[in-house]
Amino acid sequence: MKTRGNLIVLSGFAGVGKGTVLKSLFETHEGYAYSVSATTRAPRPGEVNGVHYFFVSKERFEEMIEEDELLEYASYVGNYYGTPRSYVEEKLEDGFDVILEIEVEGALNVRKKVPDAILIYMLPPGARVLQERLKGRGTETDEVIARRMKRAGEEAQRVSEYDYIIVNYDVDDCADQLDALIRSQRLRVRSNLPFITKLQKELKELT
């Protein structure tokens, strides 16, 4: 009997390493589907349409909102970001655990629409580590780093609204922990009601 997959929402401060951890998770563990978001922001060097994001115009994005094609969306630093609904639905139905890598506002909107969604927040081991990682990327100016650190401080206030935290001490360990956490959700009673009902029925027939 195929069990429907779980909807997993992963958030975390810029620079915490979400992308690297997810890459490790997908390379070493099976059963996951990554939801590619739509955005109106311009691609960064190396970003590929349909892989990192679906890069769309503001008009197209607003049409997606109107046509109810998005599971959630949010405006973040002047651009729209949103989760196309049909891919998520299809993969959940096929039994995959679907991962949305989205910011806090969108995450909490997902919770309203899909109460069973599991919200995970990835944290750095400490504030200094975060600052060093942002600097180490070498892609942002000191001013941008300072803005991102400030934003991290604001976002940290909302971590208590999530279900789980995961601390990124080491990329591969963090990916293993994430996998263990997500897999354990598959053992929840409410995720297994069809199986339980079937067994109850069989037991009744035999007694």
Nearer to ligand 5GP, 5 or 106 (CB): 106
Centroid of chain to Cα 171: 16
The torsion angles phi and psi of 38, rounded to 5 degrees, stand at -95, 145
- Does residue 81 touch ligand 5GP according to CB under 6 A? yes
In the complex, minimum distance from the CB of residue 1 to ligand 5GP, in angstroms, rounded to a whole number: 31
Piece of the chain touching ligand 5GP by CB under 6 A; list 100-108, 133-141, 186-194, 198-206: 100-108
- Does residue 54 touch ligand 5GP according to CB under 6 A? no
Residue 73: both structure tokens together: 């969306």
The residues, ordered by sequence, that sit 6+ positions from 105 with a Cβ below 8 Å of its Cβ are: 74, 76
What's the burial of 104, exposed, middle or buried (CB within 10 Å: 0-12/13-18/19+)? buried
Nearer to ligand 5GP, 76 or 87 (CB): 76
Nearer to ligand 5GP, 156 or 196 (CB): 156
- Does residue 74 touch ligand 5GP according to CB under 6 A? yes
Residues touching ligand 5GP, count (CB under 6 A) = 13
Q: ∠ CA(132), CA(154), CA(115), 5° rounding?
A: 115
Among 41, 133, 148, 151, binds ligand 5GP (CB under 6 A): 41
If we measure between CA atoms, which residue out of 57, 72, 75 comes closest to residue 9?
Answer: 72
In the complex, minimum distance from the CB of residue 117 to ligand 5GP, in angstroms, rounded to a whole number: 13
* Alpha helix ranges (H) inside 80-170: 85-93, 104-113, 127-137, 142-155
Nearer to ligand 5GP, 109 or 177 (CB): 109
Among 9, 64, 102, 134, binds ligand 5GP (CB under 6 A): 102
Q: How far apart are CA 96 and CA 178, in angstroms?
A: 15
By the criterion CB under 6 A, which residues form the site for ligand 5GP?
Answer: 37, 41, 72-74, 76, 81-83, 101-103, 106
